[in-house]
Amino acid sequence: MIDCSSQEISLDKDAFGPDFQWGVSVAAYQIEGAHDIDGKGLSIWDVFSNTKGKIKDNQNGNTACDFYHRYKDDIQLIKKLNIPNFRFSISWSRILPQGTGIINQKGIDFYKDVINSCLALGIEPWITLYHWDLPQELEKLGGWTNREVIGWFQEFVSICALNFGDRVKHWMVMNEPVVFTGAGYFLGIHAPGKRGMKNFLPAIHHTTLAIAAGGRLLRELLPKANIGTTFSCSYIQPYRNLKRDQKAAKRVDALLNRLYIEPLLGLGYPEKELPVLKGIQKIMKPEDAQNMVFDFDFIGIQNYTREIIKNSYLMPYIKAALVSAPERKVPITEMKWEVYPESIYEVIKQFNQYPQIRKLLITENGAAFKDQMTDGEINDKQRISYIKENLKQVLRAKQEGFNVEGYFIWTLTDNFEWAEGYHPRFGLIHVDFETQKRTLKQSAYWYADFLKGKSNKSIESNNALKEATT
C-alpha cells in the first residue's frame, strides 16, 4: 500500500529550494491557429483535424487560441501570474513549409518575437522542438515510418538551433513519443491516422534514433545549452493480486513508461516484457544500438493519472486491458482519468531508478474539469485541489531525496485538446473560443500567489491581479 502522506505536507514554494524550476507548458498546434497564413505549410494535424469524423464534433485547430496574433498579450499574462518559465513548441511546418528545403522567414521571425517578448519580461523560454505536428509533405513520404525522417528532423533542429540558440538556453527534443507513435501509427486515433504494427514498429525505432540525433546536434551547435526530452508516464498497478494481472501490468509499464527512455539510456528496448518489439531487429542497422543513446542534461516526465491493469487474452500483442476509472467508481477528471496524486510520486521514484538520468523535471501536470463561469469568474476548486495535491507529492518525493527539480503546469490557456477538440479545458486561463476573450480562473490566481511565496491565496492579491489583467 502507498503511504498517502500528502495531507501532512505543508505546501510552501520555498520548501522546493531556490533552484527549483516553475513554469507552464503549451504546444504550437494546440494554441497558435493561423494554420495557413504567412507561408506556413500544412502539418499532419492540419489535415487530420479537418478530416470529417476524426475530431469530436468535427472541430479543428485552424484558429485554436489565436496565439499567433495574441502572443504578446498572453505572455504579458504569464508575467502577471509570476510564472518564470514558459515552455512552448516550434511548428515544424511554420519553419519549413515542405518539411525540408526552403525556410519560411516569417515563421522564424514569429518565434524570434515570441522569444524576445519572453526575455523582455524576464520569462525564460523553454523550447520543445517536436510536439506532434509533422509537416504533411513528409508524411506523404512515410513520415515516422521512413528512416529518412531522422535526417529531415536534424535539418529542422539545426535551423532552430542556429536561429534561436543565442537566446534560448533550455531545449526539449520531443514531446511524449509513445503517444504520437502509438495513437498516430498504431491505433490511428491521432494524426496521421495510421494503424497496425507494420507502422508502429518502424515509427518507434526512427523516433528513438531521431531523439538521440536531435540531442547530439543540439550539443554540437549549442554546447552550453540545457538539453532534455520528455515522456508521458503513468503509475501502473495490477487490478488483482494475481500473477497474470501482475505480468500484464509489467507489460503495460514496458509499453507506456520504458519503451523510449531505456534505449536512449543504452539499455535497449524492453523486449523481455514485450516480445513483439523483437520485430524492430529486422530494421535495425549495426550502428543503431550506439546511435540510439544520448546523455541528456535532464529528462522531463509528464504525469496525469495512474492506470489499473488486468490480464486480457483478447488484446493482441500485449494481452492486457485497462480497468477504467469510471468502472472503478473513483474520482475522475473530464478526460475520465482518475484523480490520484500519488501517481506523480510513484513515477518520480520509478525514474529515479535509472542512474543515467542526471536530472528530472515534471514538464506537464494538470487536469481538465467542467469550469463554470459565474458573474465573470471561474472558481475552479477542483483544479486548485488537483495541483496542490500533486505538488505535495512532488515535494514528498523531493524531501525523501528523490531527484526532481522542476514543475510545469499543463496548461496556460484552454486549447485544442487533440481528438477531444475544445471540450476538455486544462487551462489556468479560460478562453471563449468565439471571441478569444481570456478570463483568469481562480487556479491562475492561486498559482500566481504560490509563486510569489504565499501559501494561501489572499483576497488582496487576487483583486490586485484582476485589476492588473483587466
Domain ranges (residues) in the chain = 5-308+339-469
Handedness of CA 161, 162, 163, 165 (dihedral sign): positive
Closest Cα to residue 398, out of 11, 2, 137, 119? Answer: 11
**What is the per-residue pLDDT for 4?**
47
Q: How many CA atoms lie within 13 A of 364 on its CB side?
A: 27
**What is the per-residue pLDDT for 468?**
54
**What is the per-residue pLDDT for 417?**
98
194: left (phi over 0), alpha (psi -120 to 50) or beta: beta
Closest Cα to residue 257, out of 362, 351, 124, 363? Answer: 351
**What is the per-residue pLDDT for 464?**
59
Handedness of CA 420, 424, 426, 427 (dihedral sign): positive
Dihedral angle computed from the Cα positions of residues 128, 133, 135 and 139, in that order, rounded to the nearest 10 degrees: 120
**What is the per-residue pLDDT for 10?**
84
Low-confidence ranges of the chain (pLDDT < 50): 1-4, 457-460
Instruction: Give the CATH class of 5-308+339-469.
Output: alpha beta
Task: Using alpha carbons, list the distances in angstroms from residue 40 to 57, 135, 208, 417, 464.
Answer: 25, 10, 27, 21, 40
Instruction: Give the E-state strand segments of 221-329 in sequence order.
Output: 226-238, 298-311, 320-322
Q: What are phi and psi of 305, to 5 degrees?
A: -165, 180
Active site residues: 176, 364
Closest Cα to residue 451, out of 25, 14, 26? Answer: 14
